[in-house]
Amino acid sequence: MNSGRKKIQNLIIALVLLAIVIIIIIPVLYAIVTSFKLEKDIIGPDPSFFPHQISLDNYKYIFEHSELYLKYYLNSTIITIFGVLITIILSTMAGYAFARLPFKGRDTILGFILFIVTFPLALLLVPIYIMEYEMGLLNTNLGLILPNVTTVLPFSIFIMRGVFRSIPHELEEASEIDGAGVFTTWWKVMLPIASNGVSVVMIFSFYNIWGEYILAKTLATQASAMPLTIGLTLLRGEGWSYGILGGVIFLALIPPVVIFMIYQRQLVEGITKGALKG
C-alpha cells in the first residue's frame, strides 16, 4: 500500500515538474521558432506555430544592421564578465573568512548579509541612483557592474561559506604546519578544492547579471550605455518585426546556455557536495 502511494506521489511530482518545464520552455521555443519564420507566417492571414518555410532573412537583417545590436551585446558582455569576476573574488575570500577565521562580530556581520539577501531591490533604486549621480557613474559600465555585484554577492558568500565549511580541517592544519599564511592557504589549498562551489557562484552570478533589468533600466538612460535587456525593448520600438526580435532573443540566449553546458557537471557536483549548505 505504501509502495503504491509513493508511486502515485512520485507521478504527481513528475507531472507538476513537467508542467513547469513546459510553461518555461514554450515562450523560449516560440521565440526561436519565430526567428526562422517569414513575416507572413507570423502576422499573415494564416499564422502558424512552426514556419511553413525556414528562412534566415531575420538573421541576415540582424547582421547587416549589427550596429543596432552589437553595442547592447557588448555592454552586457563587459558588465557580466567583470561582474562575475569581482563576485567570485569577493565571495571566495569572504566565504573563507566566515567559514574558517574567527573574528569579532562575525555572526553579526553574517546576519546583516542575510538581511541584505531578503531586502527588496526596489527600495534601493533611488539611493543607488543618487549615489551614482554624485559619483558620475550613471550611463557607464562601471555604474552597472558595481550594483549588480552587490545584488549577487550576499548569496554567493553563503554558497562559498558552505563549501569551505565542508572541507576537512586537516588540510588547513597541514598547510599551517608547512608555514603557509592565511592568504596562501586560501589560494593554494582551499580554493582549488572549492572549485565546484566557484562554478556554482559563477553560473548563479552570470545568469543574474546577464539577465538583469531593473538596475539597468534605472541607471542606464542613454542608448550607448544600455545592456541587452534594455536594448531589446528599444529594438522592438523601432519597428522591428517579430521574426527579427525572435532572432535577437535567440542570440541573447546563447551565452547563458553555453555557460551552463560547459559547467553543468561542476554545478551538479557543487550542489550535491554541499555548495548550498551553510
Write the pLDDT tens digit of every residue in 85-107: 999 999 999 999 999 888 888 88
Residue 240 has pLDDT above 70, yes or no: no
Report the range of poorest mean pLDDT among 62-66, 94-98, 184-188: 62-66
Confidence of residue 275 (pLDDT cuts 50, 70, 90): very low
As a whole number of angstroms, the distance between CA 42 and CA 49 comes to 8
Region of residue 83 (phi > 0: left; psi between -120 and 50: alpha; otherwise: beta) = alpha
- Would 235 be classed as within a structural domain? yes
Q: Determine the pLDDT at residue 59.
A: 87
Which sign, positive or negative, has the C-alpha torsion 60, 61, 66, 69?
A: negative
Q: Does a structural domain hold residue 51? A: no
Q: What value does the mean pLDDT of the chain take?
A: 85
Give a yes or no: residue 145 inside a domain.
yes
Q: Could you tell me the CATH number of the domain that includes residue 221?
A: 1.10.3720.10
Using only C-alpha atoms, what is the Rg of the chain?
Answer: 23
Is 45 contained in some domain? no
Query: How many structural domains are present in the chain?
Result: 1
pLDDT tens across 121-171, in order?
A: 888 899 999 999 999 999 999 999 999 999 999 999 999 998 898 888 888
Assess if residue 15 is contained within a domain: no
Distance CA 7, CA 265 (A): 29
**Per the domain annotation, does 10 fall within a domain?**
no
Grid coordinates in use for 16? 507538476
Q: Is the separation of the CB atoms in 114 and 154 below 8 Å?
A: yes
Whether pLDDT at 276 is above 70 = no
Are the C-beta atoms of residues 256 and 207 closer than 8 Å to each other? Answer: yes
Contact residues for 234 (Cβ-Cβ < 8 A; gap 6+): 223, 226
The model's confidence at residue 2, banded by pLDDT at 50, 70 and 90, is low
Name the residue range of residue 129's domain: 65-272
- Domain-located, residue 243: yes
For residue 7, is it within any domain? no
